[in-house]
Amino acid sequence: MPEINYLAIAVAALVPNILGAIYYGPLFGKQWLSSLNFVEDDMKGRNEALIYGSALGLSFIVSFFLKFTIALVHKDVNSSGELIYASFGTFPHGALHGAMIAVTMVIPVIISLGLFQKTKGANILLNSIFWILCYAVMGGILDAWN
Protein backbone atom coordinates (compact mmCIF):
# COMPACT_ATOMS: atom_id res chain seq x y z
CA MET A 1 0.00 0.00 0.00
CA PRO A 2 1.45 3.41 -0.91
CA GLU A 3 2.15 5.88 1.85
CA ILE A 4 -0.65 8.40 2.12
CA ASN A 5 -0.07 11.99 3.21
CA TYR A 6 -3.47 12.87 4.65
CA LEU A 7 -2.64 16.56 4.92
CA ALA A 8 -1.88 16.65 1.18
CA ILE A 9 -5.16 14.86 0.52
CA ALA A 10 -7.04 17.39 2.65
CA VAL A 11 -5.42 20.35 0.88
CA ALA A 12 -6.06 18.83 -2.56
CA ALA A 13 -9.69 18.18 -1.56
CA LEU A 14 -10.16 21.91 -1.03
CA VAL A 15 -9.24 22.66 -4.66
CA PRO A 16 -12.67 22.09 -6.28
CA ASN A 17 -14.44 24.31 -3.72
CA ILE A 18 -11.86 27.10 -3.92
CA LEU A 19 -11.40 26.94 -7.69
CA GLY A 20 -15.16 26.55 -8.15
CA ALA A 21 -15.85 29.73 -6.18
CA ILE A 22 -13.62 31.62 -8.61
CA TYR A 23 -14.43 29.73 -11.83
CA TYR A 24 -18.22 29.63 -11.40
CA GLY A 25 -18.21 33.06 -9.74
CA PRO A 26 -16.36 36.04 -11.18
CA LEU A 27 -14.71 34.23 -14.11
CA PHE A 28 -17.55 32.33 -15.77
CA GLY A 29 -20.53 32.67 -13.43
CA LYS A 30 -22.73 34.52 -15.91
CA GLN A 31 -21.90 32.11 -18.75
CA TRP A 32 -22.52 29.12 -16.49
CA LEU A 33 -25.91 30.42 -15.32
CA SER A 34 -26.84 31.21 -18.92
CA SER A 35 -25.84 27.71 -20.04
CA LEU A 36 -28.34 26.37 -17.49
CA ASN A 37 -31.03 28.90 -18.44
CA PHE A 38 -30.78 30.28 -14.88
CA VAL A 39 -30.51 33.77 -13.46
CA GLU A 40 -28.93 34.68 -10.13
CA ASP A 41 -32.32 34.58 -8.36
CA ASP A 42 -32.63 30.89 -9.29
CA MET A 43 -29.64 30.18 -7.04
CA LYS A 44 -31.29 31.63 -3.94
CA GLY A 45 -32.95 29.43 -1.34
CA ARG A 46 -30.53 26.53 -1.71
CA ASN A 47 -29.07 24.70 1.26
CA GLU A 48 -25.51 26.01 0.82
CA ALA A 49 -24.13 24.08 3.81
CA LEU A 50 -25.40 20.80 2.37
CA ILE A 51 -24.16 21.61 -1.13
CA TYR A 52 -20.65 22.76 -0.16
CA GLY A 53 -20.29 20.18 2.61
CA SER A 54 -21.25 17.35 0.27
CA ALA A 55 -18.96 18.70 -2.44
CA LEU A 56 -16.06 18.81 0.03
CA GLY A 57 -16.74 15.28 1.24
CA LEU A 58 -16.83 13.99 -2.31
CA SER A 59 -13.62 15.90 -3.08
CA PHE A 60 -11.91 14.00 -0.26
CA ILE A 61 -12.86 10.74 -1.97
CA VAL A 62 -11.56 12.02 -5.33
CA SER A 63 -8.36 13.31 -3.72
CA PHE A 64 -7.64 10.03 -1.92
CA PHE A 65 -8.13 7.87 -4.99
CA LEU A 66 -6.28 10.30 -7.23
CA LYS A 67 -3.25 10.00 -4.94
CA PHE A 68 -3.65 6.24 -4.83
CA THR A 69 -3.88 6.03 -8.63
CA ILE A 70 -0.84 8.24 -9.21
CA ALA A 71 1.15 6.12 -6.73
CA LEU A 72 0.08 2.87 -8.39
CA VAL A 73 1.30 4.09 -11.76
CA HIS A 74 4.82 4.43 -10.35
CA LYS A 75 5.53 1.02 -8.89
CA ASP A 76 9.14 -0.07 -8.73
CA VAL A 77 11.23 -2.78 -7.15
CA ASN A 78 14.05 -1.80 -4.79
CA SER A 79 17.46 -3.52 -4.57
CA SER A 80 16.17 -6.12 -2.11
CA GLY A 81 13.32 -7.10 -4.43
CA GLU A 82 10.53 -5.38 -2.51
CA LEU A 83 7.72 -3.65 -4.34
CA ILE A 84 7.74 0.08 -3.65
CA TYR A 85 5.45 2.86 -4.72
CA ALA A 86 7.39 5.76 -6.12
CA SER A 87 6.63 9.27 -7.27
CA PHE A 88 8.38 11.81 -9.41
CA GLY A 89 7.54 14.32 -6.69
CA THR A 90 6.86 17.26 -8.96
CA PHE A 91 3.81 19.42 -9.46
CA PRO A 92 3.89 19.28 -13.30
CA HIS A 93 4.14 15.49 -13.31
CA GLY A 94 1.20 15.11 -10.93
CA ALA A 95 -0.77 17.72 -12.87
CA LEU A 96 -0.23 15.72 -16.06
CA HIS A 97 -1.53 12.56 -14.41
CA GLY A 98 -4.47 14.41 -12.90
CA ALA A 99 -5.42 15.96 -16.22
CA MET A 100 -5.07 12.62 -18.01
CA ILE A 101 -7.35 10.93 -15.47
CA ALA A 102 -9.90 13.73 -15.87
CA VAL A 103 -9.82 13.55 -19.68
CA THR A 104 -10.15 9.77 -19.77
CA MET A 105 -12.51 9.12 -16.86
CA VAL A 106 -14.39 12.27 -15.84
CA ILE A 107 -14.98 14.14 -19.10
CA PRO A 108 -16.63 11.17 -20.88
CA VAL A 109 -19.13 10.98 -18.01
CA ILE A 110 -19.84 14.73 -18.16
CA ILE A 111 -20.36 14.57 -21.92
CA SER A 112 -22.53 11.45 -21.73
CA LEU A 113 -24.74 12.96 -19.02
CA GLY A 114 -24.94 16.20 -20.94
CA LEU A 115 -26.10 14.44 -24.08
CA PHE A 116 -28.78 12.44 -22.29
CA GLN A 117 -29.94 15.49 -20.33
CA LYS A 118 -29.91 17.73 -23.43
CA THR A 119 -27.47 20.06 -21.71
CA LYS A 120 -26.15 22.99 -23.73
CA GLY A 121 -22.71 22.51 -25.22
CA ALA A 122 -21.50 25.60 -23.35
CA ASN A 123 -22.35 23.94 -20.03
CA ILE A 124 -20.58 20.73 -20.99
CA LEU A 125 -17.52 22.72 -22.05
CA LEU A 126 -17.47 24.86 -18.90
CA ASN A 127 -17.80 21.82 -16.63
CA SER A 128 -15.23 19.81 -18.57
CA ILE A 129 -12.60 22.55 -18.42
CA PHE A 130 -13.30 23.08 -14.72
CA TRP A 131 -12.77 19.42 -13.84
CA ILE A 132 -9.64 19.10 -15.97
CA LEU A 133 -8.21 22.10 -14.09
CA CYS A 134 -9.27 20.66 -10.71
CA TYR A 135 -7.78 17.25 -11.36
CA ALA A 136 -4.57 18.81 -12.70
CA VAL A 137 -4.11 21.04 -9.64
CA MET A 138 -5.08 18.22 -7.27
CA GLY A 139 -2.72 15.78 -8.97
CA GLY A 140 0.06 18.35 -8.87
CA ILE A 141 -0.39 18.91 -5.15
CA LEU A 142 -0.58 15.20 -4.41
CA ASP A 143 2.51 14.27 -6.42
CA ALA A 144 4.66 17.17 -5.26
CA TRP A 145 3.67 16.80 -1.62
CA ASN A 146 4.69 13.21 -0.96
Residue 101, pLDDT above cutoff 90? yes
Whether residue 111 lies inside any domain: the answer is yes
Q: Determine the residue type at 85.
A: Y
* Rounded-to-5 percentages of helix, strand, coil across the chain: 75, 5, 20
Quote the domain boundaries for residue 120: 6-144
Domain count across the chain: 1
Output the average pLDDT for the chain.
92
137 domain-assigned: yes
pLDDT-based confidence at residue 2 (cuts at 50, 70, 90): low
Three-state DSSP class for residue 28: coil
| pTM, rounded to two decimals | 0.89
Q: How far is CA 38 from CA 29, 30, 41, in A?
A: 11, 9, 8
In a domain, 16, yes or no: yes
Task: Please give the pLDDT value at position 86.
Answer: 62
pLDDT score recorded for residue 1: 61
- Does 102 map to a domain? yes
- Structural domain contains residue 1: no
Q: Do the domain assignments include residue 129?
A: yes
| Residue 92 located in a structural domain | yes
Question: CA-to-CA distance for 21 and 41, rounded, in angstroms?
Answer: 17
What is d(CA 96, CA 142) in angstroms, rounded to the nearest whole number? Answer: 12
The answer, yes or no, to whether residue 78 has pLDDT greater than 80, is no
State the pLDDT at residue 4: 82
Residue pair 138/66 in contact (Cβ under 8 Å)? The answer is yes
Kindly compute the dihedral angle of the four CA atoms of residues 83, 138, 56, 130, in this order, to the nearest 10 degrees: -140
Domain-located, residue 34: yes
Helix (H) or strand (E) run with residue 84 in it: strand 83-85
